[in-house]
């Protein structure tokens, strides 16, 4: 722990040093990294685009117009039009909603299941830990996307079910990470002290262990959003995510691949959008990892 | 070593039990009567009656699971309702195509990832290091189905060098086989190359700062030999485990890649099964994939213990 004050041995009076705030320092270190700062700007831009889609999109994303079928980019349609005359730019703008929503909601599902279960496994130990760990191994043994496809297939194709499928498939990573970090924190002196003064196990786990395992979880959550955005696009590409006519970058690419020889613009912009958003989350995740690493303090 | 292997094999048994429970439990997610749903849109009463009988739907969950598990242990993964063929046979038919794709993808990933990781570590902090890191980030962030579409646009539509889709068996025409596999394999290997690059860089940095490398340098060994003979050999050991772990990425990637390039492999099998509501095939494919992943990890651990005796002691 960093002391709030320190006594300067060379002075008669105690010298008050400014309190170091680890979170503020970490944020400062994160913003000092140009790549992470750009990544944050890109994410913020996509959030603004998703929230303000109704004001930003020049056309209705589902409105068809058979007089403008597969038109190349022009002043009227900056990103061109698709196979039934819908404006690609408007669909890309609205598609940001599905991708961001899927990324954030599925990771929230993973965290809300994975963290309590991992905390229980790490803190309780014994048979509970053994059972949870084996179940986690079983989930981890199923490749992420294949499990998500299987779950989405059994649940039925929709964006909500895709988010649930991605959330469940990503949960074991959070269980394992939380369990591992809980085991490390559990052995710390302050946890022993909390136990010695008679705190209940659930109180120690929530009040003392949980706040100390947040940094690695935050890093994992950021990287998991990147993976979830790709997973949602993949499921939508396969027809298991957002259903037509609602726009999604993945489903736009699925349609675009059939017209790649004469309407390549249909494939370029949704792909660039996925790439930029995923890259931004990956870069911020990497930056957070370095910023929250005590060795960089 | 024998004790290590027995102990390690024992640990996979509960995991396999959980995997089987999970995959059998997927059926429980189907809303309503599974027999009605599994019978498809025709809802043929004969099929429904047959399903009820073969799936023991009048029995409780544990009994049904026990029947299903007994079948699986005897190699019976069920039957495809659409194709009227055993799932095991379908997997056996499609697997060689995906394995060929995966093998070429791994070769491409190794050819890109390891040299890039070595150069990045040796030239740490230089433009080479930054360049390799940018390429790795690009590989990790590019959706492989989009990369596939873009490669089709460039090499098939614009340049006309490679076929846009389809598969030719190497036994029919090996040149056409390579032409049809090179783009999908690159797409699949791209993301793995990025992971390999990052791991190789990290392992090389660790090894390059160790005492024996310093000693080799102090003795006047050529820098090229220090890097390739002393450092890289040891840095590559963890790649054994990584190779097994990336098996899952390969199969997940293959699902999308095979869809983009219309390759009739394992990935296309599961996607077609999903759209035809052929749930026995979906279950069979997931069970086979998970079991193969667990067994590959076991083999990787044993291989790792052979090359690194400290693991056995631990």
Question: Taking a C-beta distance cutoff of 8 angstroms, is the pair A235, A250 a contact?
Answer: yes
| Count of CA atoms in the C-beta half-sphere (13 A) of A30 | 23
pLDDT in tens, A118-154: 999 999 888 999 999 988 988 888 888 888 888 888 8
CA distance A196 to chain B (A): 32
- For residues B199, A272, A142, B57, the Cα torsion angle rounded to the nearest 10 degrees is 180
- How far is the C-alpha of A163 from the C-alpha of B8, rounded, in Å? 35
The per-residue pLDDT for B252 is: 77
Give yes or no for B271 touching A (CB within 8 A).
yes
pLDDT in tens, A60-113: 999 988 888 999 999 999 999 999 999 999 999 999 999 999 999 999 999 999
Domains, chain A, ranges and CATH? Answer: 79-291 (1.10.3720.10)
If we measure between CA atoms, which residue out of A2, A43, A39 comes closest to residue A290?
A: A39
Nearest to B286 among A147, A233, A261 (CB): A147
Cis peptide preceding A245, ω within 30 of 0: yes
Instruction: Name the residue in chain B with its Cα closest to that of A284.
Output: B137
Helical spans, DSSP H, in A158-245: 159-186, 189-196, 201-203, 214-238
The per-residue pLDDT for B64 is: 85
Q: Which residues of A touch B283 (CB under 8 A)?
A: 150
Question: What percent of chain A is modeled with pLDDT above 70?
Answer: 91
CA distance A272 to chain B (A): 9
pLDDT in tens, B12-56: 888 888 889 988 888 777 766 767 776 767 777 887 787 777 777
Residue B227: band (very low, low, confident or very high) from pLDDT cuts 50, 70, 90:
confident
ipTM score: 0.85
User: What's the whole-model pTM score?
Assistant: 0.87
- How far is the C-alpha of B301 from the C-alpha of B292, rounded, in Å? 14
| CB spacing of A275 vs B149 below 8 angstroms | no
If we measure between CA atoms, which residue out of A72, A153, A176 comes closest to residue B284?
A: A153
| CB spacing of B27 vs A238 below 8 angstroms | no
Q: Which helix H or strand E contains B132, and what residues bound it?
A: helix B127-141
Q: Which of B37-51, B60-74, B239-253, B267-281 has the highest mean pLDDT?
A: B60-74
Q: Which residues of B touch A278 (CB under 8 A)?
A: 140-143
The per-residue pLDDT for A6 is: 44
Burial call A237-262: b when 16+ CB within 10 Å, e when fewer: bbbbbbeeebbbbbbbbbbbbeebee
CA distance B130 to chain A (A): 12
Whether residue A170 is predicted with pLDDT greater than 80 in this model: the reply is: yes
Whether residue A7 is predicted with pLDDT greater than 50 in this model: the reply is: no
Diameter of chain B measured on Cα atoms: 82
pLDDT in tens, B133-167: 888 988 889 999 999 999 999 999 999 999 998 89
Helices (H) and strands (E) in chain B, counts: 15, 0
For residue A28, give the DSSP letter: H
Give yes or no for B159 touching A (CB within 8 A).
no
Diameter of chain A measured on Cα atoms: 86
């Amino acid at each position: 722990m960093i002391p709030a004050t320190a006594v300067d041995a060379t002075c008669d009076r105690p010298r008050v040093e400014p309190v170091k705030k680890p979170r503020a320092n970490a944020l400062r270190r994160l913003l000092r990294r140009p790549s992470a700062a750009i990544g944050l700007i890109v994410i913020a831009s996509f959030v603004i685009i998703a929230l303000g889609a109704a004001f930003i999109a020049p056309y209705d994303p589902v409105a068809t117009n058979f007089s403008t079928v597969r038109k190349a980019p022009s002043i009227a349609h900056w990103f061109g039009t698709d196979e039934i005359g819908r404006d690609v730019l408007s669909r890309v703008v609205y598609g940001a909603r599905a991708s961001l929503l899927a990324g954030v909601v599925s990771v929230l599902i993973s965290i809300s299941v994975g963290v309590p279960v991992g905390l229980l496994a790490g803190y309780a130990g014994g048979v509970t830990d053994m059972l949870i760990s084996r179940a986690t191994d079983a989930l981890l043994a199923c490749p992420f996307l294949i499990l998500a496809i299987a779950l989405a297939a059994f649940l039925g194709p929709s964006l909500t079910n895709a988010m649930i499928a991605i959330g469940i498939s990503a949960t074991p990573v959070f269980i394992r990470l939380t369990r591992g970090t809980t085991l490390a924190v559990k052995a710390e002196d302050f946890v022993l002290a909390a136990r010695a003064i008679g705190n209940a196990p659930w109180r120690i786990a929530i009040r003392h262990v949980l706040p100390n395992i947040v940094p690695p979880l935050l890093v994992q959550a950021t990287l998991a959003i990147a993976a979830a955005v790709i997973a949602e696009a993949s499921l939508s590409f396969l027809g298991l995510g957002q259903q037509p006519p609602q726009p999604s970058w993945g489903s736009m690419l699925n349609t675009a691949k059939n017209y790649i020889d004469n309407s390549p613009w249909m494939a370029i912009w949704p792909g660039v959008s996925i790439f930029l958003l995923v890259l931004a989350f990956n870069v911020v995740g990497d930056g957070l990892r370095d910023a929250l690493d005590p060795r960089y303090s | 070593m024998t004790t290590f292997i027995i102990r390690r094999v024992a640990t996979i048994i509960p995991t396999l039990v959980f995997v089987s429970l999970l995959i059998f439990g997927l059926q429980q997610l189907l809303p309503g009567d599974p027999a009605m749903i599994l019978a498809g849109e025709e809802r043929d009463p004969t099929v429904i009656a047959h399903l009820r009988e073969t799936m023991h739907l009048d029995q409780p969950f544990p009994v049904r699971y026990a029947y299903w598990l007994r079948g699986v242990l005897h190699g019976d993964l069920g039957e495809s309702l659409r194709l009227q063929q055993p799932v095991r046979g379908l997997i056996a038919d499609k697997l060689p195509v995906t394995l060929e794709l995966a093998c070429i993808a791994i070769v491409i990933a190794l050819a890109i990832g390891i040299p890039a990781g070595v150069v990045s570590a040796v030239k740490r902090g230089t433009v080479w290091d930054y360049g390799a890191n940018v390429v790795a980030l690009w590989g990790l962030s590019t959706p492989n189905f989009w990369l596939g579409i873009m490669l089709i646009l460039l090499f098939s539509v614009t340049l006309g060098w490679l076929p846009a889709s389809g598969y030719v068996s190497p036994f029919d025409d090996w040149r056409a086989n390579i032409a049809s596999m090179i783009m999908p394999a690159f797409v699949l290997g791209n993301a793995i190359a990025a992971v390999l690059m990052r791991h190789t860089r990290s392992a090389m940095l660790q090894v390059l700062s160790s005492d024996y490398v310093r000693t080799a340098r102090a003795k006047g060994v050529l820098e090229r030999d220090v890097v390739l003979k002393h450092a890289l050999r040891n840095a590559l050991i963890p790649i054994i485990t990584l190779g097994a772990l990336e098996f899952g990425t390969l199969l997940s990637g293959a699902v999308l890649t095979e869809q983009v390039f219309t390759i009739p492999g394992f990935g296309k099998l599961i996607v077609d099964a999903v759209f035809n509501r052929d749930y026995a095939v979906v279950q069979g494919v997931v069970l086979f994939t998970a079991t193969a992943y667990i067994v590959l990890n076991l083999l990787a651990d044993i291989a790792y213990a052979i090359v690194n005796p400290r693991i056995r002691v631990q």
